[in-house]
């Protein structure tokens, strides 16, 4: 009887642990940062100066939402991340004059700079 009870307890622990692990691995978080006014100037200045081609997107883009797969993301250039270090880990695109920073792993928007 003890053996059956121990096997059942072990199985219950395994199932509970597996469920918690599955939940832990499927959850994703979206990180954002607060862009200071002087950082906005750097970002917008680069995009205007370099004439970055805007992406034509019909959907509304919002922080936390994934961007469509057809949107071409670009690595953040040195000119931006030397003055805005938080931007280095992201990729970006121009969306009708707004600079959208995206987590390249999840393709979720982390910041939109107007």
- Annotated domain spans of the chain: 1-29, 37-113
Contact 35, 77 (CB under 8 A): no
Q: What percent of the chain has pLDDT over 70?
A: 72
Q: What angle do CA 58, 92, 34 make, to 5 degrees?
A: 105
CATH topology of domain 37-113: Nuclear Transport Factor 2; Chain: A, (3.10.450)
Q: What percent of the chain has pLDDT over 90?
A: 58
Reply yes or no on whether the pLDDT at 14 is more than 80: no
Report d(CA 33, CA 28) in Å as an integer: 17
| pTM across the whole model | 0.71
Reply yes or no on whether the pLDDT at 30 is more than 70: no
DSSP summary character for residue 59 = S
């Amino acid at each position: 009887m003890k053996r059956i009870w121990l096997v059942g307890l072990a199985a219950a622990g395994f199932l509970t642990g597996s469920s918690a692990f599955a939940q832990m691995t499927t959850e994703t978080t979206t990180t954002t940062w607060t862009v200071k006014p002087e950082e906005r100037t750097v970002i917008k200045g680069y995009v205007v100066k370099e004439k970055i081609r805007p992406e034509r997107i019909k959907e509304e883009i919002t922080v936390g939402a994934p961007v469509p797969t057809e949107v071409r993301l670009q690595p953040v250039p040195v000119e931006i991340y030397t003055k805005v270090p938080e931007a280095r880990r992201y990729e970006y695109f121009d969306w009708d004059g707004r600079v959208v920073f995206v987590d390249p792993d999840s393709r979720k928007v982390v910041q939109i700079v107007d």
